[in-house]
A and B are shown apart, each in its own frame.
Chain A
């Protein structure tokens, strides 16, 4: 069948196709490189939902553009289309039927991109850059949820220019995730709010942050019955917290673990600590992947509480990651995330998106 389903094949074909030299460390994992990658840092990645046959990847970048590729089973990536904003694109998401892509940008707007007609119209307006955008499909309503640095969470019916609902956030929205009927928003000043989306979105609980530093990324995970049951929260301090919403034993079930640090578990020597830029859960196995400013990605099994794999170090931070709908492809973007300020920004440096076969490596460890 497709090569994406098998374990072998990519490593070797990757090298022969792209032939990176040994000194150049931009692709140490020898993963598939997406063709015509964006010209500036990639802020967000998103794969198409299962309703669309095939795999389509969307990436938003700081070059103000959103690009779409078709990813074929052979590993070939074909650039399909592109749309522009007037500011850097911070988040992208798909509608559930795979016909529309929603993009959120620093130009304080969010747009809906109809892929069939290749037209994009504005559907949302905020007073500050829109940091997160998610599509909500409920039995009795559908809408787009946008979180912004203007401390509001707005819900938009794409046909109207007025939001269906506006919820106040305690602080600027830094990251969010939605798996119906649950939504999690992490804000500045270590704010953390869980929303329930049944009937209409409303605040469910404000949670004290399990982390000590700034929140950077969040991802919801599901339980064995495929219901959202908790979330993973990453911070700038190389740490991820796994938090269940209603655990039988919170003190034992919730935990945090360190990641993206330079010295492993050796706590005596000073470590370099890197931010966790993105967290993504494998849709089938329930294991998770984290990507960090250190230029590595790691796979973890949160139930067995073990690390499954850590990659080699890329020469740039990894700024975003995403799984495709069946978990066979893991996409990660290698581009500068501003973690060291403007001095380390090199506009000439090429930005990459890599695709990796994720079917085997993310299988959970069997608990003894």
Chain B
């Protein structure tokens, strides 16, 4: 087959349906379960390409009808997620160099994000849409601080209450205050100076490092999370749940900061969503395998019984007791079967991932450090290596800005070196 030129440029609008060959993505559909260990490309980047090409059709087909049927002339839905969301994919898709350093990609992402925010603010102001709404620059990111959520019904109820108590003036005053607050915030975001930019980016970044479940808890605070999910930081109760989720998401929330860690999913057979850092798949694939142990206690284990449409990670909900994400985290890893499961998986994909930065840390932390740490009593040791257990070389690797190929430590980093 001929190679698809548009795909190479990162803008093939037919995606899977394309009649031309998409190198790198061709193996994605069939070989999702296996990580080609002998592939020339770095394991991680193949994955990123795989996902980015899947996302691309939707993000790039702005003015064209949805590429499902090429000859379709019917009125189609408006553009999908144009604007800020494409910036992220563009960062991966267009960079032809699979060895592009994460930092420059990150900077590009940031810039695109900020541009997206400015654009969104302008649209918000000019479109006459409802003012009192939270906002997030990209879907699956936390809300930006400074905006409050008030539904029209709540506002109307306030109005009626004040009316009946003959206190309309105070209603109007507080309304005016809210409007001013909103306007100020919008202007702040439109004219980004350095301080707001820094605050903004920390808003977003901290959310980025967050494992998926943290999002749900983080939203209890009206503002941002701040905590990247490691138990070192003690914020609200949200952290307790974050932490207990740790064992499974050990590889999900690597401190490397880049969303690359989520490239793991295919290795574990989870057809999880894109490379965005926060995905619901994080809990999904983590529990996908050890679900055997916890699913038994849950009526959800067979898709048929569950009644939900398509079968999937039905074992997953074992963890979802009312509101608590953490529950099966410990048992899932405590039982021998699941550790073995991860151990074997870890080793299977080990070779493929050993080349990519940051991942090996995540993977092998499960396969190697857990059996070791089971003997220790403190929970910290389950996840982090005490400094004295690291060799000089490993310590050096952790302390440097990036891992060097071939020297990536197999143990998780010590708590002391973590930058939260």
A187 — which chain B residues lie within 8 A by C-beta? 219
B127 contact from A202, A211, A244, A270, Cβ within 8 A: A270
Q: Are A339 and B153 in contact (CB under 8 A)?
A: no
Residues of A within 8 A of B80 (CB): 255-257
Chain B positions 152 through 173: 1 when the CB is less than 8 Å from some CB of chain A, otherwise 0: 1111110110000000000000
B197 within 8 Å of A (CB atoms): no
B19 within 8 Å of A (CB atoms): no
Q: Is the CB of A211 within 8 A of B79?
A: no
- Taken together as a complex, chains A and B put the C-alpha atoms of A198 and B339 apart, in Å, by 30
Contacting residues, chain B, for A214 (C-beta < 8 A): 130, 132-134, 149, 151
Shortest B155–chain A CB gap in Å is 6
Contact B135 A213 (CB under 8 A): yes
Q: Does A164 lie at the interface of the complex (its beta carbon under 8 Å from any beta carbon of B)?
A: no
Which one of A90, A129, A267, A341 lies within 8 Å of B62 (CB-CB)? Answer: A267
Q: Is there an interface contact between A203 and B320, defined as CB atoms closer than 8 Å? A: yes
**Cross-chain contact A251 with B323 (CB below 8 angstroms):** no
The contact string, 1 if C-beta is below 8 Å from chain A, for chain B 312-350, is 111011001111010000000000000000000000000
Given contacts A170-B217, A250-B281, A275-B152, contact A267 B271 (CB under 8 A): no
> With an 8 A cutoff between CB atoms, is A111 at the interface?
no
Q: Is the CB of A193 within 8 A of B51?
A: no
Contact A273 B123 (CB under 8 A): yes
B300 within 8 A of A: yes
Q: Which secondary structure dominates chain B's binding surface?
A: loop
Residues of B within 8 Å of A278, CB to CB, are none
Judge if B278 is at the interface, Cβ distance under 8 Å.
yes
A209 engages B309 (CB within 8 Å): no
A182 → B minimal CB distance (Å): 6
When the two chains form their complex, are residues B299 and A189 in contact, meaning their CB atoms are under 8 A apart?
no
When C-beta atoms are compared, the residue in chain B nearest to A193 turns out to be B216
Contact B323 A367 (CB under 8 A): no
Interface size of A by CB at 8 A reads 92
Closest chain A residue to B212 by CB distance? Answer: A208
A306 in the interface (beta carbon within 8 A): yes
Which of these, A149, A170, A198, A249, contacts B219 with CB under 8 Å? A170
Q: Do residues B139 and A208 form an inter-chain contact, with CB atoms below 8 A? A: yes
Flag whether B272 is at the interface (Cβ < 8 A).
yes
Tell whether B195 is near chain A: CB-to-CB under 8 Å: no
Residues of chain B lying within 8 A (CB to CB) of residue A250: 271-274, 279, 281
- Asked if B305 is an interface residue, CB under 8 A from chain A, the answer is yes
Q: At the interface with chain A, which of B64-72, B92-100, B185-193, B399-407? A: B64-72
Number of interface residues of B (CB under 8 A): 88
B13 shortest CB reach to chain A, Å: 13
Distance, CA A212 to CA B58, complexed state (A)? 17
A306 pairs with B74, CB closer than 8 A: yes
B27 part of interface (Cβ distance < 8 Å) = no
Flag whether A222 is at the interface (Cβ < 8 A): yes
CA A264 to CA B212, docked complex, whole Å: 34
Q: Are A246 and B152 in contact (CB under 8 A)?
A: no
- A181 and B307 within 8 A (CB): yes
In this complex, the member of A204, A247, A342 whose beta carbon has the largest number of chain B beta carbons within 10 angstroms is A342
Contact of B74 among A167, A193, A365 (CB under 8 A): A365
Contact of A196 among B159, B222, B300 (CB under 8 A): B300
A-B contact pairs, 27 of them (CB 8 A): A62-B156, A129-B153, A167-B322, A171-B149, A172-B154, A182-B308, A191-B216, A191-B219, A193-B216, A206-B325, A208-B212, A208-B215, A208-B278, A214-B130, A227-B308, A236-B130, A244-B309, A245-B312, A251-B51, A251-B54, A251-B55, A255-B58, A257-B80, A304-B68, A305-B77, A340-B128, A367-B69
| Residues in chain B within 8 A of chain A (CB atoms) | 15-16, 51, 54-55, 57-58, 62-63, 66, 68-69, 71-72, 74-82, 120, 123, 126-130, 132-141, 143, 149, 151-157, 159-160, 175, 212-213, 215-217, 219-220, 222, 271-274, 278-281, 283, 299-300, 305-314, 316-317, 320-323, 325
**A interface residues with partner B (beta carbon < 8 Å):** 43, 62, 88, 90, 106, 129, 131, 149, 167-168, 170-172, 174, 180-182, 187-191, 193, 196, 198-199, 202-214, 216, 222-223, 225, 227-230, 235-238, 241, 244-252, 254-259, 261, 264-265, 267, 270-275, 300, 304-307, 337-342, 345, 365, 367-368
